[in-house]
C-alpha cells in the first residue's frame, strides 16, 4: 500500500493572515519568515510535513488571527 502524497513530504508554504505580527514572532513560528504589510502578515517557509502544517495553523488560530489563505508553492 502506498502512502498518500504530501503527508510526509516537506513543502514550501505561504500562509496569509489578517493582522500584523512583528518579527519577534519568527522564533515562535520556528524560523519561518514573517512579512508584514497592509494589515496582513505573510508567514512563509519550508514546512516538514502535514503534522507540522496543522501545528502551524493551530498556532495561528490560538493567536486569534483570521486565516486568509494557506498555499503550498513550487520552489
All domains of the chain, ordered by start, with CATH?
11-73 (3.30.70.600)
pTM recorded for the entire structure: 0.83
- pLDDT exceeds cutoff 90 at 7: no
Evaluate whether 42 touches 32 at the Cβ level (below 8 Å): no
- pLDDT exceeds cutoff 80 at 1: no
pLDDT tens figures, 21-74: 987 888 888 889 999 999 999 999 999 999 999 999 999 999 999 999 999 998
**Residues whose CB is less than 8 angstroms from the CB of residue 16 and which lie 6 or more positions away in sequence, other chains included:** 40, 41, 42, 43, 67, 68, 69, 70
Amino acid at each position: 500500500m502506498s502512502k498518500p502524497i504530501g503527508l510526509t513530504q516537506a513543502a514550501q508554504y505561504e500562509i496569509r493572515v489578517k493582522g500584523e505580527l512583528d518579527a519577534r514572532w519568527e522564533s515562535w513560528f520556528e524560523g519561518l519568515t514573517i512579512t508584514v504589510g497592509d494589515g496582513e502578515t505573510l508567514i512563509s517557509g519550508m514546512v516538514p510535513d502535514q503534522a507540522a502544517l496543522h501545528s502551524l495553523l493551530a498556532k495561528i488560530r490560538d493567536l486569534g488571527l483570521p486565516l486568509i489563505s494557506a498555499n503550498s508553492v513550487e520552489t
